[in-house]
């Protein structure tokens, strides 16, 4: 029986108490005790009937086909699943490889403090921008590769001054230290082919870090931040509406501690627990803030 096997695994392998197992699976504590005490599969048989989960499988597959990396907890919310979330996770994990192959970035080991992966995410929602206009401004996402600590903020545009201002907001305000390398793709706001846009060299020089621009089609080097973008789309956006970019940022800022408090199975820990080691190995924030935002748009005359 599936329940018999699950009860024994939860108790003997994972150390879950009998009371907690009974609560999760919705069974009597006597049933749990009998399953733990028995080393053999129960002899009696019941008529085979489609389980509730089996009936939901087509809808689970539909969600995974549209959003391959949607977390199992979010799938459960969409389907109003009220049973054991552990059992539900295991079955979603069984189906997910058909829609989302393993990310090659998971095979790479990252040193604390060494790098953060950066990207622009364009949320598929229309946000009021004022004067009767609506749009989808870019969200700058910066994720520390070692701790998987996510930082993010919506920007007015993807121009160089706004990108640099956003980077400074996230590094100084949310991350609290400077990664030794900032990994980017060939984002036009930073320049192309190792020719940085105006203001970028001054920014990196003030922070004593460097921007590394990747070659095209290099999924292994930015898989962590791309997965964070998917996580934002499937776990932050559903059910929300936004009155303005400022409202978007306020809601995002309130939600990020929850995102960083989740257990990352690949790491066996929570980003909020691992980020201290990350920060300790990073560079200190500069004593003087870099020139960013509107001030960075102004070219000072040469002597």
Q: Is the pLDDT of residue 43 over 70?
A: no
Q: What residue numbers bound the domain in which 170 lies? A: 105-297
Asked if 73 and 172 sit in the same domain, the reply is no
Classify residue 78: in a domain, yes or no.
Answer: yes
Cα angle at 294 between 177 and 150, to 5 degrees?
Answer: 30
Contacts of 235 (CB under 8 A, 6+ apart): 70, 71, 74, 259
Classify residue 302: in a domain, yes or no.
Answer: no
Classify residue 284: in a domain, yes or no.
Answer: yes
* Domain edge (last residue) among 34, 67, 101: 101
- Cβ atoms 150, 259 nearer than 8 A: yes
Classify residue 257: in a domain, yes or no.
Answer: yes
Asked if 225 and 265 sit in the same domain, the reply is yes
pTM of the model as a whole: 0.64
Task: Write out pLDDT tens, residues 120-143.
Answer: 999 999 999 988 899 999 999 999
Asked if 227 and 126 sit in the same domain, the reply is yes
In this prediction, residue 60 carries a pLDDT of 87
Asked if 281 and 149 sit in the same domain, the reply is yes
As beta bridge partners, residue 213 has 184
Element (H, E) at 168: helix 160-169
How would residue 167 be classed by pLDDT, with cut points 50, 70 and 90? Answer: very high
How would residue 1 be classed by pLDDT, with cut points 50, 70 and 90? Answer: very low
157-169: average pLDDT = 93
Q: Is the pLDDT of residue 221 over 90?
A: no
Task: Write out pLDDT tens, residues 58-75.
Answer: 888 888 888 877 888 888
Asked if 86 and 136 sit in the same domain, the reply is no
What CATH number is given to the structural domain containing 132? 3.30.420.10
Matching residue, tokens 């105006």: 198
Task: Write out pLDDT tens, residues 245-292.
Answer: 999 999 999 999 999 999 887 788 899 999 999 999 999 999 888 887
In this prediction, residue 105 carries a pLDDT of 47
Asked if 15 and 74 sit in the same domain, the reply is no
């Amino acid at each position: 029986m599936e329940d018999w096997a699950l009860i024994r695994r939860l108790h003997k392998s994972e150390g879950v108490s009998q009371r907690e197992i009974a609560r999760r699976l919705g069974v009597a504590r006597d049933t749990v005790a009998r399953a733990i005490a028995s080393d053999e599969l129960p002899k009696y048989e019941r008529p085979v009937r489609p389980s509730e989960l089996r009936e939901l499988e087509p809808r689970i597959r539909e969600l995974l086909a549209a959003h391959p990396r949607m977390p199992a907890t979010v799938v459960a919310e969409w389907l109003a699943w009220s049973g054991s979330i552990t059992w539900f996770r295991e079955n979603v994990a069984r189906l997910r490889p058909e829609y989302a192959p393993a990310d090659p970035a998971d095979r790479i080991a990252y040193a604390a403090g060494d790098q953060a992966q950066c990207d622009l995410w364009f949320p598929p929602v229309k946000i009021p921008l004022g004067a009767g206009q609506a749009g989808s401004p870019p969200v700058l996402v910066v994720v520390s590769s070692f701790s998987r600590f996510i930082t993010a903020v919506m920007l007015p545009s993807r121009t160089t001054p706004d990108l640099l201002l956003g980077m400074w907001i996230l590094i100084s305000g949310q991350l609290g230290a400077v990664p030794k390398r900032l990994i980017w793709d060939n984002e036009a706001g930073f320049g192309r082919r190792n020719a940085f846009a105006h203001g970028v060299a001054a920014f990196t020089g003030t922070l004593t870090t460097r921007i590394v621009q990747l070659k095209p089609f290099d999924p292994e080097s930015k898989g962590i931040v791309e997965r964070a973008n998917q996580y934002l789309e499937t776990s932050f956006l559903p059910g929300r509406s936004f009155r303005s970019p400022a409202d978007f940022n306020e809601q995002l800022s309130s939600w990020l501690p929850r995102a960083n408090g989740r257990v990352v199975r690949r790491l066996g820990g929570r980003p909020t627990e691992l980020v201290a080691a990350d920060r300790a190995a990073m560079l200190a924030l500069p004593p003087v803030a870099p020139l960013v935002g509107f001030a960075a748009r102004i070219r000072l005359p040469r002597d």
